[in-house]
Amino acid sequence: IVFGPQATEQKVSVSIVDDDQYEPDEEFYLDLIDASEKSKISTCAKTCTIEIIDDDTPGALSFEYATYTAVESQQYLTGSVLRKNGADGKISVELICVDETAVSGTNYVGDPLVLEFAHHSTEATFSIPLIDTNQ
């Protein structure tokens, strides 16, 4: 950057490469260095931080419904996990069953499940095998 005789400020342009993949936010620093040895650079403001906010978000996951209901004689309980507010990149989520009044191995098969979301996919379904104790 070159300052003319009466110039008191200059603008700096930095090109940011826009990609299409999710990644954490990134940052870099911009330093003022006196190349001419004729000017003074403030020691308290000679570095600034540039933060690049990722605009390719993978989205947020949630169950389609807060409660699912199944009849004991059904073979499976089937539900969905939805991906909202973004669908960039391939992601996965693990579902883990936690016993309450129904017990894994007695009332249902509670093996952990992994759901995969392909790039731009917004819904994945899961099935939990049920055990009919009235047979």
Of 79, 63, 73, 59, which is closest to residue 119 (Cα–Cα)?
Answer: 59
- CB neighbours of residue 109 within 10 Å: 13
Residue 72 tokens read as: 């004991």
Burial of 86 (0-12, 13-18, 19+ CB in 10 A): middle
pTM for the complete prediction? Answer: 0.63
Q: What is the pLDDT along the chain (135 residues), one digit of tens a residue?
A: 777 888 888 888 888 888 777 777 789 998 888 767 777 777 777 888 998 877 778 889 999 999 999 998 999 999 999 999 888 889 999 999 999 999 999 999 999 999 999 988 999 999 999 999 887
Burial of 126 (0-12, 13-18, 19+ CB in 10 A): middle
The answer to whether the CB of 54 falls within 8 A of the CB of 23 is yes
